[in-house]
Structure 1
Amino acid sequence: MDQGNTAFLLIAAAFVLLMTPGLAFFYGGLVKAKSVVSMMMLSFGAMGLIGVLWVIYGYAIAFPGSEGTLFPWKIDTAAIGLTSLLETPEDAMYPPIAFAAFQATFAIITVALVSGAIADRAKFGAWMVFAGVWATLVYFPVASWVFNFGLADDGSFSYGGWTTYGLQEVFGLGVIDFAGGTAVHINAGAAALALALVLGKRVGFQKGAHVPHNPPFVLLGAGLLWFGWFGFNAGSELAADGTAAVAFLNTIAAPAAALLGWLVVEKLRNGKATSVGAASGAVAGLVAITPACASVTPMFAILLGVIAGAVCAVAVDLKFALGFDDSLDVVGIHLVGGLIGTLFLGFFANNTGLFTGGDGTQLLVQAIAAIAVLVYSFALAWIIGFVIEKTMGFRVKNEDEIAGIDTVVHGEEAYLFDQPARV
């Protein structure tokens, strides 16, 4: 066993887990002051629930150890509870349980991302039910479509999810999604759009009506997300090698360029470059480079970042034009950014992109995978959310939303400004 690669993988897993508290700060700063506890609890609730479900059966669904299919799911019954992963083969590069831990952090952050679309108006209990059902029916199977792969001795695919192995069998090329542009960002963004439609608009929803209560929280969260993203992208190589180094550098270049691209659009549109815009631009770039981090050169990573930052800066306003209330712009950043990064590979992926030696096949398979994940996630999320809303209720009362839901839902307040001073 390679102890260096094992250490690398475990450290990367810790980085990715830190992203969920970082997301809690990022989202928490964007909502109003009387909803920040509720918003952050949606992320922490996902950490608890999805972490447990992953160990019990999530890994067994996502990584069945054989060729993945759409339906029925192939479940590795020996991996239920991860007991079968406790022994490490002598020739393994890292313990299988380390890989399971790394992938657990992906499942957690993906579910937590969805919560941004329903800020200020969701019941915590209903969210937890949605998170568990959506993870089971959507994230775990989609992770198998994208991340479940195996290699034969000659380096060819011996089995895998349909977006990799299956599309390669048909078209000669499988989808390139190094760290989760489809499985994480398009998946979460599509579900977020569905939930935003199910729960409806916030009271008084209009442009400028809801402003971030704590931009320093937003910047702190974005910084933690960027830090953790190095584990997300470079760690997906599962080895401390040259590919991981390329992914690492591109995880600097793309979000840096996206930050600038967002600020330029913001300056031209509103006359001011904001701190929230800088944070949002960086996250948009991180989203876009996720599938592409190991498959483009650093210069193309910068190009991708500029495109993602500028386009996502415009896309976040689509909710006002189209009339859906995606509270914290999960659609505009994660769905749009994920689509940009995934499709960008069809044009500029090393050796197979349309402009880098390919013939358009890579673009075709990228589009097939992106559309399939988007449609599947949106449809299931809408059904799950609709059933929850019509049974136990998903949305809080309007009067509670107006007052701020921290006290009503959790019996806590983030800021006790009216407390008497102690002497």
Structure 2
Amino acid sequence: MAPAITLAAEAPKLSAANTGFMLICSALVMLMTPGLAFFYGGMVRVKSTLNMLMMSFISLGIVTILWVLYGFSMAFGTDSGSLIGWNSDWVGLGNIGLTELWPGYTIPVFVFLVFQLMFAIITPALISGALADRVKFSAWALFVALWATVVYFPVAHWVWGTGGWAFELGVIDFAGGTAVHINAGAAALGVILVIGKRVGFKKDPMRPHSLPLVMLGAGLLWFGWFGFNAGSWLGNDDGVGALMFVNTQVATAAAMLAWLIYEKIRHGAFTTLGAASGAVAGLVAITPAGGAVTPLGAIAVGAIAGVLCAMAVGLKYKFGYDDSLDVVGVHLVGGVVGSLLIGLFASGKGQSTVEGLFYGGGLTQFWKQCAGVFAVLAYSLIVSAILAFILDKTMGMRVPEDDEVAGIDQAEHAETAYDFSGAGGGAAKTAATAPVAAAASKKVDA
């Protein structure tokens, strides 16, 4: 019998299917930032609507340019000390071949980098919801640039970059529980502790001005999150991305229902805002865990997150920090819950063979998750507070009190979200047509 011939493993080849799939996922993640803008924009008062929209939109501009110049290199370049990456060939993205593949995958480097860019864009935008009504737009824009550079890019390397300490430790974060949501939530807490409360906090009503806008934003986030989560497997060859897609839907539904049930018991009503917030809490919690748990596990993750996040949003009134739109309560708490529950619910049948406590794996993975969660939380909280303090003492982070009371839209953008004085109706039209209506009435009486 002739000796067996051992062939070397074939190198990955560019897959048009996976490339197309990932480009679509990238577009879905990009849509999440405008979706977030609508979600936040509807939750603020009328006088702050445009500012809230702009705080998300400006991230699309700033972070994109930084990513091209050095961000991608810092996050995914050659590791240095398990803390940061660097690859001079990626500076400016001018030395990347069109068909050059991301190592170990069947998609081009350009596809991987643009997918990751969309994560880098939405993460600082998430922070903005905690700062509604009171931050100078110029200070916010500079904060985004500085925060992306010294917080997001290094943390992304820790979690997802080859050689990053959390990646090498085995911390599981499928799509951004630590790098995105805990990172942004902790940053939000750090900044609001520095800049203080809104004028009238706990005294004036600060209700959402447009719940339909909130629901539109939540729907866009839910839609885009399928790309955010399922796309993070960087392909569609082995079913893990499909599992993540299913778990994203399942956990979101469970969290929404759990939030509403808690809300009905605690406050006596099923609110629209609660439904939207519960859905987002579920999306946040399943983001790190969805590739490691079964659909039943996803129900548990979503339901637990829905209740705990609903409870957490009230803590700002108890402890006195003004988290305007509940970034801490939803993104920080939801990210922590989803990340830690991996240590309990990981089935060993998804993205890896790692098993959590409830599947016979003990607490080994749970302690790894704790290390990733609390390291990112502490780093982002401290550094973000320092950045806010420096900006506040140099250029000032807050708008003047008079501008805050009158409306930050007019002060910072010289615009208002709604114009009620046009020909379409409103007070001006009513005043103009009143004499005509009065004359007609007299004719009828005659």
Shorter-chain TM range is over 0.9
Higher relative contact order (CA 8 A, sep 6+): 1
Partner of 2:436: none
Counterpart amino acid of 1:16?
A: V
| AA matched with 1:31 | V
Is the aligned partner of 1:80 residue 2:91? yes
**Aligned residue in 1 for 2:331:** 334
* Residue 377 of structure 2: aligned partner: 374
Q: For the Cα contact (< 8 Å) 2:75–2:156, is it kept in 1?
A: yes
The one-letter code sitting in structure 2 at the alignment partner of 1:75 is: W
Relative to the length of structure 1, the TM-score reads: 0.93
Cα deviations by residue, 1:122-154 (Å, 9 ceiling, x for unpaired): 1110000000000000000000001113xxxxx
Gaps of 5+ in 2: 1-13, 349-354, 430-446
Aligned to 1:224: 220
> In the alignment, is residue 104 of structure 1 matched against residue 117 of structure 2?
yes
Larger Rg belongs to: 2
Query: CA, structure 1 residues 409+94, in 2 after alignment: closer, same or farther (shift >3 Å)?
Result: same
Paired amino acid for 2:363: G
Separation of aligned partners in 1, 2:289 and 2:374: 17
Give secondary structure in 2 for the equivalent of 1:175: coil
Deviations 1:209-267 (CA, angstroms, capped at 9, x unpaired): 21100000100000000000000000000011300000000010001000001101111
Q: Is structure 2 residue 111 aligned with structure 1 residue 114?
A: no
Give the equivalent residue in structure 2 for 1:22: 35
Give 1:89 shift.
3.6
Displaced runs of 4 or more, over 6 A: none
RMSD: 1.5
- In the alignment, the residues of structure 2 paired with residue 263 and residue 67 of structure 1 have an alpha-carbon distance, to the nearest angstrom, of 46
Distance 1:60 1:21 in 2: 26
For 1:110, what is the secondary structure of its paired residue?
helix
How many pairs does the alignment contain?
404
Which residue of the partner structure matches residue 366 of structure 2? 363
2:144 to 131, 135, 140: 131
Tell me if the contact between 2:85 and 2:157 (Cα under 8 Å) persists in the aligned partners: no
Q: How far apart are residue 66 of structure 1 and its match?
A: 3.8
Q: Could you tell me how far apart the structure 2 residues matched to 1:264 and 1:125 are?
A: 41
**Residue 297 (1) aligns with residue 294 (2):** yes
Gaps of 5+ in 1: 150-159, 168-173
Structure 1 segment 199-278 matched on structure 2, within 5 A? 199-206=195-202, 209-241=205-237, 242-278=239-275
The one-character-per-residue Cα deviations of 1:290-339 (angstroms, maximum 9, x if unpaired) are 00111000001011111101110110000000110010000000000000
The Cα of 1:402 is off from its aligned counterpart by 1.1
- Give how far 1:88 is off: 2.2
Aligned-pair CA distance for 1:275: 0.6
Identical aligned residues as a percent:
56
The one-letter code matched in structure 2 to 1:377 is S
**Is 2:25 the partner of 1:12?**
yes
| Aligned-partner Cα distance in 2 for 1:317–1:277 | 13
Amino acid at match of 1:338: G
Given the superposition, is the C-alpha separation of residues 186 and 373 from structure 1 closer, same or farther in structure 2, using an over 3 Å criterion? same
What residue in structure 1 maps to residue 190 of structure 2? 194
Q: Deviations over 1:375-402 (max 9, x none)?
A: 0000110000010011101111111111
**Range with bigger deviation, 86-95 or 373-382:** 86-95
TM-score, normalised relative to structure 2: 0.88
Q: Which residue of 1 aligns with 2:438?
A: none
Q: Which amino acid aligns with 2:183?
A: N
Question: 1:87: Cα distance to partner?
Answer: 3.5
SS of the equivalent of 2:86 reads coil
| Alpha-carbon distance, 1:208 to partner | 7.1
Contact 2:45/2:207 (<8 A) preserved: yes
